[in-house]
Amino acid sequence: MLENRVVSSNAIKCRYLGEDDNSKTLKELIKYHNENMSVVLKEGTMKNYYTTEKYLHRFLAKKRKINDVRLKQLNYAFVTDFEHFLRNYRDSKKRLLLGNNGVMKHLERFKKMLNLAVKLEWMEKNPFNQFQLKYNKYDRQFLDEEELEQLESTEMGNERLERIRDCFVFSCYTGLSYVDVKELNGDNIVKGIDGNLWISTKREKTDKPVKVPLLPKAREILEKYMQCPEMENKESLLPISSNQKTNAYLKEIADSCDIDKNLTFHVARHTFATTVMLSNGVPLETVSKLLGHSKLSTTQIYARVVESKISEDIGNLLIRFKDKASKKNAVT
């Protein structure tokens, strides 16, 4: 009656036996979420949800010694116990598998699933309401101007590494992610309003349209592989390997170029935002559009103004102060 539901002998029986909607279990929620969200969320995102699901199943089996749990039994203690389980989870070699941010990502996905349960009226409130997700902030790695030049000019002496290097450099001058570079085809190269060539595509991750001017360095790389016989019968424009192989090759490339940084393909995106764009005076709002971000705050995580740019801007400010002082003295 408190829930404004029809009171009947069958409803009372179902509630008593735990068979009504108010007695849904965690596994039922996960199944409902995954079935419904698989058509909405990207494959990579769903893969992460499946991993979170595996950790929840292991937690129930190893720590709670149960196969499933009713949603109305979930509370703040369940959340904190699951957090503790994730932080201390070790592989077969007794190595910790998750850092703080990895733990927070799993908890964030779990929280979203419970939010769905609240919306479906399977739960009265989310136990995460009293729990705060705390991420550690890290400096995102990027190549500075000198390192980028070093990368571009170093002779690879190996066709396999040269191709991956070229794809990485292409991303440094376009800001495209690995999957967007991989999916790039001739239809994505269009003439812009300025009469120059632009890349017009949709971000695989967010499905958000992105338009990026084709800078000279990026255009050179495209033209190089347009003339490559191996690429003639392929839809894609660049010869990129799988993500795993690409990142493995980038480690070799970093060694060859004497770059002491953990080079992954995503570093190229940070390099585009910071070294190629912001450091050359391109406003943050423009960089945000070029990266295909829906919020400016997301761009602020990627893109930092390097010290040389700050120094240059302060130098310009001092020149303006000096000019103003000179004009004032001339008048007096």
Please give the Cα distance from 183 to 321 (Å, whole number): 50
Average pLDDT over residues 83-96: 93
Give the rounded percent of residues in the chain with a pLDDT score beyond 70.
94
Does the pTM exceed 0.85?
no
Give the rounded percent of residues in the chain with a pLDDT score beyond 90.
52
Average pLDDT over residues 10-15: 82
Q: Which residue has the tokens 């990485």?
A: 168
Residue 156 has pLDDT above 90, yes or no: no
The two structure tokens encoding residue 214: 């084709």
At residue 309, the pLDDT reads 67
More confident call, 18 vs 153: 153
More confident call, 161 vs 227: 161
For 31, other C-beta atoms within 10 Å of its C-beta total 12
pLDDT confidence of 307, banded at 50, 70, 90?
A: low
Please give the Cα distance from 208 to 293 (Å, whole number): 8
More confident call, 302 vs 50: 50
At residue 27, the pLDDT reads 96
Residue 107 has pLDDT above 80, yes or no: yes
At residue 316, the pLDDT reads 80
Residue 119 has pLDDT above 80, yes or no: yes
Please give the Cα distance from 167 to 7 (Å, whole number): 65
Please give the Cα distance from 272 to 210 (Å, whole number): 15
Residue 14 has pLDDT above 70, yes or no: yes
Residue 12 has pLDDT above 90, yes or no: no
Least confident segment among 27-36, 91-100, 167-176: 91-100
pLDDT confidence of 192, banded at 50, 70, 90?
A: confident
At residue 106, the pLDDT reads 97
Q: Report the amino acid identity of residue 101.
A: N
Residue 308 has pLDDT above 80, yes or no: no
Q: Which residue has the tokens 């919306």?
A: 119
Name the range with the highest mean pLDDT among 30-34, 118-122, 139-143, 232-236.
30-34
At residue 46, the pLDDT reads 93
Residue 303 has pLDDT above 70, yes or no: no
Q: Greatest CA span in the chain, whole angstroms?
A: 97
Phi and psi at residue 198, to the nearest 5°: -130, 160
> What tens digit of pLDDT does each residue of 54-84 get?
999 999 999 999 999 999 899 999 999 999 9
Q: How many CA atoms lie within 13 A of 221 on its CB side?
A: 23
Task: Tell me what the pLDDT averaged over the chain comes to.
Answer: 88
Please give the Cα distance from 253 to 269 (Å, whole number): 17
